[in-house]
Amino acid sequence: MRQSKMLIPTLKQNPKGAVALSHIMMLRGGYIHQVSAGIYAYLPLAYRVLEKIEKIINDEMQKIGAIRMLVPTLLPAKLWKESGRLSTYGPELFKLKNRRGTEYILGPTHEETFTALIRDTVNSYKDLPLILYQIQSKFRDENRPRYGLLRGREFLMKDAYSFSLNDKDLDRIYHNMDVAYRKIFDKMQLHYRPIIGNGGAMGGSDSQEFSAPAKVGEDTIVYSDKGDYQANLEMATSKCIAKKPDVAPKKLVKKSCPNTKTIKKLAKFLKVEPKQIIKSVLFIANKKKPVLVLVRGDHDVNPTKIQNFLGADFLDLATPSQIKKLVGCVPGYVGPVNTNVKILADDYVKYMVNTVAGANENDYDYVNVNPGRDFKVDAYGDFRLAKEGDVAPNGVGHLKFTPGIEIAHIFKLGTRYSKDLGATVLNENGKRVPVIMGCYGIGVSRLLSAIAEQQSDDNGLVWPISVAPFDIHIIPVNVKNDVQMNLALSLDKQLTKDGYEVLLDDRKKRAGVKFADSDLIGIPLRITVGRDAKQGVVEVKIRKTGETVKVRKDELENTIPIFRKELSNNK
């Protein structure tokens, strides 16, 4: 491929406004172009990378019996009414109407579309299991798009859906997907961690997320420094290592504690440690049900855990006026004693004795509060946000945090969607039962960013050979020099014939410009055809290591595979 025919608008300078390394380098390398905030064009080089990624995904999907198809992006809003998500999905949902007033949404995901398809076309368990997938643009009305392809309003996803009669098939397919995803990311030489994900987000149970460690990542990966525990922070649990202190409960006392709305101020005022205080947080579930959550004063509530425990579509912090109405005080004095609100308490609270809690009265707290005696807890559980240093839930090692990019997510959905949409089949006994579902997503355009984030250096992108837009970049130093140009052309021809994808820089530019562009573009191997062309010698440069080797043209055929093998072995 002649470089002059491609649109590769490289940039010498870092573009304004871009902060993520991948974003900067994909702009500078001429891979992407912003059309509007959070919306990008994939220029020819990026499109080639996408094709490689698609091929890797397709190959692995095929191996596990997943079948590709394509559903529309423009979906009737009434379909999402059936699942309830039209109102629960939130402001990220793009909505529009046609000229007749019919309401549509732009699909951010397609559980409903595929569930309705199965409902309308499959009648018997004999036609199951089925695994269907597509690769397609998805839409999210991000309030603050950022980091290039990482958080955009239009993006490419592979989304797969499985339909089976029973959980056994679901478990098998879920496992196969897990394995397939690992192979996919391994092929791309991507560092990733399979972590426990938030299944509740899709209304299902089990869920695993694949997160690619990267500084710019918005995930917090929680992992054990010794064991194999790995989870997204929103799901991360830790072992409760508290013990009931051998102390007799004292008499409950209401105490004036003015201006101590925070745990810190209250601890100082009472001369106790924060962990001797109960932190009480009032939430409103599903826009109407109040729930009071208690954690130890040095812990934080993890709202995701509360939401999943309650199975709530919405969970909001109570506003000051709601707090006033429900418990009768200003924020900062809320507590579990003398209240009718449902109480969820973190496991650590169970072990607290003679503790402190708000009195639901302005400027007053209770001291010598004892759970069980002074208030009833509706349910104990792990409701706290995990912290670095916590003991891993299996007791092996301590938790550490690292940022990551969510690149994929698999979910066991069960009957969450099939029940609402009425997707049933006749089972072996002729009885109608809802189909069991799973859904399995990969952020395809996001993978470009994740790979670029992990692999770029100061000079530009460094693509792994499996997804690089080309295998070899041939650069004749001086295209007006016939010897150089003829050798470059013959190498291009020969290597293309050998099955390599070759980009030939035939532009009349200075060598320095071409080398800088080549580094920015990041093709794994570069062949420079310069002065030594007279002797039939070229220079091969490995983009990743910077290593250069002079090679005779007739030895290239043997040399290239060696370099490629080396590059495909290391991550």
**DSSP letter string, 217-234:** -SEEEEEESSSS-EEETT
Quote the least distance from Cβ 204 to a second copy, whole Å.
22
Q: Which is nearer to a second copy, 33 or 342 (CB)?
A: 33
Q: How far is 334 from 261, CA to CA, in rounded Å?
A: 9
Q: Which is nearer to a second copy, 121 or 535 (CB)?
A: 121
Q: Which stretch binds a second copy (CB under 8 A): 101-109, 282-290, 348-356, 483-491?
A: 101-109
Q: Which stretch binds a second copy (CB under 8 A): 66-74, 291-299, 348-356, 490-498?
A: 66-74
Q: Does 130 bind a second copy (CB under 8 A)?
A: yes
Q: Which is nearer to a second copy, 136 or 338 (CB)?
A: 136
235 torsion bin: left (phi>0), alpha (psi -120 to 50), beta (else):
alpha
Q: Are 26 and 32 in contact (CB under 8 A)?
A: yes
Q: How many residues bind a second copy (CB under 8 A)?
A: 60
Q: Does 4 bind a second copy (CB under 8 A)?
A: yes
Residue 110 sits at φ, ψ, to 5 deg, of -135, 35
> Using CB under 8 A, which of 18, 25, 49, 132 touches a second copy?
132
> Using CB under 8 A, which of 106, 231, 341, 356 touches a second copy?
106
Measuring CA to CA, how many Å separate 179 from each of 42, 172, 188, 410, 436?
29, 11, 14, 11, 20
Q: Does 98 bind a second copy (CB under 8 A)?
A: yes
Q: Does 9 bind a second copy (CB under 8 A)?
A: yes
> Using CB under 8 A, which of 288, 499, 508, 569 touches a second copy?
508
Question: Which residue, chain included where needed, has tokens 């013959």?
Answer: 490
Measuring CA to CA, how many Å separate 394 from each of 42, 109, 236, 241, 387?
44, 34, 12, 12, 15
Q: Which is nearer to a second copy, 142 or 566 (CB)?
A: 142
Count CA atoms closer than 13 A to 409's CA, side-chain side: 21
- 457 pairs with which residues across the strands? 460
- 406 pairs with which residues across the strands? 211
Q: Does 96 bind a second copy (CB under 8 A)?
A: yes
DSSP-based three-state secondary structure for 205: coil
For the segment 46-65, give every residue that binds a second copy (CB under 8 A). 46-47, 50, 65
Q: Does 44 bind a second copy (CB under 8 A)?
A: yes
Q: Which stretch binds a second copy (CB under 8 A): 71-79, 342-350, 367-375, 452-460?
A: 71-79
> Using CB under 8 A, which of 143, 429, 558, 569 touches a second copy?
143
Cα R_g (the chain), whole angstroms: 29
Quote the least distance from Cβ 530 to a second copy, whole Å.
22
Q: Are 223 and 390 in contact (CB under 8 A)?
A: no
Q: Does 16 bind a second copy (CB under 8 A)?
A: no
The H or E element containing residue 447 is helix 444-455
The H or E element containing residue 79 is helix 77-83
Q: Does 309 bind a second copy (CB under 8 A)?
A: no
Q: Which stretch binds a second copy (CB under 8 A): 134-142, 404-412, 434-442, 460-468?
A: 134-142
3-state SS of 147-170 is: CHHHECCEEEEEEEEEEECCHHHH
Q: Which stretch binds a second copy (CB under 8 A): 75-83, 286-294, 519-527, 537-545?
A: 75-83
* Residues in touch with a second copy (CB under 8 A): 4-7, 9, 30, 33, 35-37, 39-44, 46-47, 50, 65, 67-76, 79, 91, 94-96, 98-100, 102, 104, 106, 113, 116-117, 120-122, 126-127, 130-132, 137, 139, 141, 143, 153-154, 507-508
